């Protein structure tokens, strides 16, 4: 695994940031922008993904980091679910839906991989921070 010194170095965080940017862009116009409830909820969920990655990383232990990554992964699922609602309401084209769904699925896969890595490292023993390189 490459050196990770800051949460900004985590590939999952980088992709989650891109996802949030695209969610904001997609929900900023047309009928989607006027559906305040869905617009605000999907935006909050997308921001929750990168926020939980950052918060977990800053907690200092890989066990807590993994816990926050699981919360972030749950928020990715929430984003995907809300994308279906947006599609069903005609707020997104099929192409937009596919692109955003794939981006969110990629973030979920990245988080799953990192969670798995952290859990395996935790089982191996005393190295408190295998991800963070000083």
- pLDDT category, 134, cuts 50, 70, 90? very low
Number of domains forming the structure of the chain? 1
Provide the CATH number for the domain around residue 34: 1.20.1440.60
User: What residue numbers bound the domain in which 21 lies?
Assistant: 7-119
What's the pLDDT tens digit per position in 42-56? 999 999 999 999 999
Question: Which pLDDT belongs to residue 1?
Answer: 47
In a domain? residue 127: no
In a domain? residue 129: no
| Residue 68 near residue 56, CB atoms below 8 Å | yes
Residue with tokens 């395996």: 120
At residue 35's C-alpha, the angle toward residues 88 and 27, to 5°, is: 75
Beta-carbon contacts of residue 62 (< 8 Å; ≥ 6 apart): 118, 121, 122, 128, 129, 130, 131
Alpha-carbon 96 to chain mean position? 18
The arithmetic mean of pLDDT across residues 97-107, rounded, is: 98
Distance CA 55, CA 123 (A): 23
Q: Which of 86-100, 101-115, 118-132 has the lowest mean pLDDT?
A: 118-132
In a domain? residue 62: yes
């Amino acid at each position: 695994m490459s050196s990770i010194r800051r949460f900004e170095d985590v590939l999952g965080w980088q992709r989650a940031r891109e996802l949030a940017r695209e969610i904001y862009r997609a929900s900023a116009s047309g009928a989607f922008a006027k559906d305040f409830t869905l617009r605000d909820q999907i935006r909050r969920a997308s921001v929750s993904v990168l926020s939980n990655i950052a918060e977990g990383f800053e907690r200092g232990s890989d066990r807590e980091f993994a816990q926050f990554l699981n919360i972030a992964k749950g928020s990715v699922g929430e984003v995907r679910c809300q994308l279906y609602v947006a599609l069903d309401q005609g707020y997104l084209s099929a192409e937009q839906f596919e692109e955003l769904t794939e981006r969110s699925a990629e973030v979920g896969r990245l988080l799953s991989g990192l969670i798995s890595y952290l859990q395996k490292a935790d089982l191996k023993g005393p190295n408190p921070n295998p991800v963070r390189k000083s």
